[in-house]
Amino acid sequence: MATATAAVETPGREEPSKRPGLADVLLTIPRGVAQVDFQPSYWTGLIFIVALFVGGWQFGVFGLLGTVTATVTAYLLGVSRDRVSIGLEGFNGTLVGVALVLYLDVRWMTVLLVIGSAIAASVVSSALNTVLTPYNLPGFTAPFCIVTLVMVIGAPSYDRVWAEHANTAAPSATDPGTAMTWHDFWRGTFNGIGQVFFQDKWYVGLIFLIGLAVSSRLVAAAALVSSVIGLLVGWWLGVPAADLGAGLYGYNAVLTGIALTGTFLALSRAGVLYAVIGAATAAALTAGISNLFTVVGGHTLTWPFVLVAWVFLAAVPIFSRLRRAS
């Protein structure tokens, strides 16, 4: 989800372009997976893919299905090759694939829905880029949020889609206590990183953290600290310990912290403080969004991150101590 600069074309003259080799084409897919956390590194993407398969083969397969579908759709519709090759057209498809297989389980119907939803996410992504570019704001994971929300709102009306859907109730539904233990804390810290991809196993979150460190130790540190911030904000507000341990209050803080720590905002002391405030805000907003979406099972998705990041980045020009990353 890092920004990519499109080449300027001269009207009336076709610019020569080098056809990408097979290796470049194939590496576009892991880059798309890595861009979920704003990283263009295919090594990070490969580690992320391993993490998804460790979490469950279905997450790896459907995540890749969504990535490939969204990437191919963007390519066939003529999206800038720079955006496609760096993975900017794949990451929303990744999240769509992982989310739908989690909510709807492994079925042929889910395969078709992931393909259709990933295509839709690609179109929505281009539409949002058109709307937001004049304001210098990225689309982030909003296309994934929009398409997936529409799917989970409509799915209960379709018996062939919803009849065998998976139970995705929050852990607090069966364990409502608020007394957080050390076990909840350390497990929730890693799960907060893994939940960006809907993974609730701490060791899967650790693999994702390693993948981030391969790309940038600063990004990995920002993710780890932001997960802790989300955890502590949730605990301070009285969130059930089971939800904290599952990382449900960490992942939006993680995405916000990474986005505002040197990715879309220039690194500075004031910028770090701004990122901390943003991460805490995203965590605090999680419950509100969750309650708003109770009708569809409280699926918060990454809406808190998207809304907070848009607001915080839009406000930057007013603050003289902050500036956007070049």
The domain spanning residue 86 has which CATH number? 1.10.3430.10
- Of 133, 168, 203, the residue at which a domain comes to its end is 168
Q: What is the pLDDT of residue 182?
A: 92
Strand, helix or coil for residue 324:
strand
Residue 5 pLDDT class (50, 70, 90 cuts): very low
Do 241 and 319 sit in the same domain of this protein? yes
Q: Does the residue 140 lie in any domain?
A: yes
> Mean per-residue pLDDT for 90-116?
94
Domain range spanning residue 160? Answer: 22-168
Does residue 8 register a pLDDT over 50?
Answer: no
Do 162 and 174 sit in the same domain of this protein? no
Residue 20 pLDDT class (50, 70, 90 cuts): low
Q: Does the residue 315 lie in any domain?
A: yes
Do 77 and 135 sit in the same domain of this protein? yes
- Of 168, 185, 208, the residue at which a domain comes to its end is 168
Give the mean pLDDT of the chain.
Answer: 90
Q: What is the pLDDT of residue 153?
A: 84
Do 190 and 126 sit in the same domain of this protein? no
Do 182 and 163 sit in the same domain of this protein? no
Do 310 and 255 sit in the same domain of this protein? yes
Q: What is the pLDDT of residue 9?
A: 38
Q: Does the residue 313 lie in any domain?
A: yes
* Whole-number Å distance between alpha carbons of 27 and 39: 13
* Whole-number Å distance between alpha carbons of 267 and 261: 6
295 to 19, 71, 149: CA distances (angstroms): 48, 32, 11
Do 175 and 163 sit in the same domain of this protein? no
Q: Does the residue 7 lie in any domain?
A: no
Do 231 and 325 sit in the same domain of this protein? yes
Do 159 and 27 sit in the same domain of this protein? yes
Do 185 and 293 sit in the same domain of this protein? yes
pTM over 0.85: yes
Q: What is the pLDDT of residue 223?
A: 98
- Of 168, 187, 222, the residue at which a domain comes to its end is 168
Q: Does the residue 228 lie in any domain?
A: yes
Q: Does the residue 1 lie in any domain?
A: no
Q: How many domains does the chain have?
A: 2
Do 120 and 33 sit in the same domain of this protein? yes
> Mean per-residue pLDDT for 159-174?
75
Q: Does the residue 250 lie in any domain?
A: yes
Looking at residue 106, what DSSP letter applies?
A: S
Helices (H), the chain: 22-34, 42-55, 57-76, 81-85, 91-104, 108-132, 142-154, 159-162, 182-194, 202-215, 217-237, 241-245, 251-258, 269-292, 303-315
Residues in Cβ contact with 15 at an 8 Å cutoff, skipping those fewer than 6 apart: 7, 9
